[in-house]
Amino acid sequence: MAAAAPAMRAGLVLVAFLLLAASGAGARAEGALPRFAEAPEYRNGEGCPAAVAGAGVCDPGLVHIAMTLDAHYLRGSMAAIYSLLKHASCPESLFFHFLAADAAAPGVGELRSALAASFPSLRFEIYPFRADAVTGLISASVRAALEAPLNYARNYLADLLPKCVPRAIYLDSDVLAVDDVRRLWETRLPAAAVVAAPEYCHANFSRYFTDAFWSDPDLGARVFAGRRRAPCYFNTGVMVIDLRRWRSGNYRHRVEQWMELQKEKRIYELGSLPPFLLLFAGEVEAVDHRWNQHGLGGDNILGSCRPLHKGPVSLMHWSGKGKPWDRLDAGRPCPLDHTWKSYDLYIGDGDASQASAPSWASLSSSALPAAVFSW
């Protein structure tokens, strides 16, 4: 529930922003972050775990969400965060762990300010991720965006997050939650499982690896022999990861070993996903498909419109080439992009000298307190 005071504050922020833009005082250096509206504030409901005084990030009542953060996908991240808070029964119990490339602009300080401006009471930490640590391991893939070092940051979650964090939900920046993420958090992980994710056993698993992989007697089917179940495709954009088991099994090293082999032999075409399939296919704990309604960005080449899969929806995922913010800006949104738009906090480009005045039409009515519009 949005309190009246934050609604007023958001309204004041907007008015102040309009005055600044009109006077030209809002002009900022080139490369500045886009501007985002303040999200309505949300409070824990009845029955939420009470915060343990002084426990901070180690508080056992927290739900830990890990995401990457960069300028390119910031608009997606903002919408994703907003959607998670909005649908959470205990939004104040969410703790966000953001991985940001260390050498890239914007810096951690700027990202921190942008998050705090849109989500004043958000509990989060930003971890600088050393992109050069993976650059040497990345091989060319089918889509250039899949080669970005930050895509590989999920391999390093267990190294970067505090040791007291027992598990984390990793989410891509192009997702939207439409359900309480605590339900995903409470996924049971049996003793053998390190990762839980929705599995897609109808997908042709063979095509995620090259002929060179399948025809190599040391690789191919042999890699998956002895797994708990037949190997199935799963998407790494939504995963529950047991960080303690990940650490004790030294999975970061095991991912890197596959990436090194890929550089020698080209055993797959996609970016950061296949090493996860190699390590966990047939071993992941299956999660209900409602938690990753993926593929809404279309394929990796055209980014065409795709409908939701059958069944209930808790999380929508614009995986693929087409991102809702790009298609909306281009004036060619897919039907489901309008759902994403209702969580879009974007109000303009960072460089006010180039940006036109904010268009009221571009402000999403459901993403902002009604008070803003009734003034």
Ligand X SMILES: *[C@@H]1O[C@H](CO)[C@@H](O)[C@H](O)[C@H]1NC(C)=O
Q: Quote the tokens at residue 259.
A: 């990436």
Q: Which CB, 202 or 253, lies closer to ligand X? A: 202
Q: Return residues touching ligand X (CB under 6 A).
A: 204, 206-207
**Closest distance between ligand X and the C-beta of residue 197, in Å?**
21
Q: Which CB, 208 or 258, lies closer to ligand X? A: 208
Q: Which CB, 207 or 229, lies closer to ligand X? A: 207
Residue type, 49: P
Q: Rounded to an integer, what distance in angstroms lies between the CA atom of residue 188 and that of residue 185?
A: 9
Q: Which CB, 128 or 282, lies closer to ligand X? A: 282
- CB-based burial, 170-185: b 16+ in 10 Å, e otherwise: bbbbbbbbbbbbbebb
**Closest distance between ligand X and the C-beta of residue 280, in Å?**
20
8 Å CB contact between 195 and 240: yes
**Closest distance between ligand X and the C-beta of residue 207, in Å?**
4
Q: Which CB, 206 or 248, lies closer to ligand X? A: 206
Q: Quote the tokens at residue 73.
A: 């996908």
**Closest distance between ligand X and the C-beta of residue 220, in Å?**
12
Beta strand 63-68 pairing with 167-171: parallel
**Closest distance between ligand X and the C-beta of residue 235, in Å?**
18
- Cis amide bond preceding 217, omega within 30: no
**Closest distance between ligand X and the C-beta of residue 205, in Å?**
8
- CB-based burial, 106-131: b 16+ in 10 Å, e otherwise: bebebbbebbebbbeebbbebbebeb
Beta bridge partners of 169: 65, 240
Beta strand 167-171 pairing with 346-348: unpaired
Q: Which CB, 163 or 207, lies closer to ligand X? A: 207
**Closest distance between ligand X and the C-beta of residue 298, in Å?**
20
Q: Which CB, 16 or 212, lies closer to ligand X? A: 212
Q: Which CB, 207 or 265, lies closer to ligand X? A: 207
Residue 362 is classified by DSSP as G
Q: Rounded to an integer, what distance in angstroms lies between the CA atom of residue 67 and that of residue 100?
A: 9
Residues 6+ apart with CB under 8 A from 85: 39, 42, 91, 94, 119, 122
DSSP conformation letters of 26-61: T---TTPPPEEPPPPP----TTPPPPPTT-GGG-TT
Q: Which CB, 119 or 213, lies closer to ligand X? A: 213
**Closest distance between ligand X and the C-beta of residue 55, in Å?**
50
**Closest distance between ligand X and the C-beta of residue 206, in Å?**
4
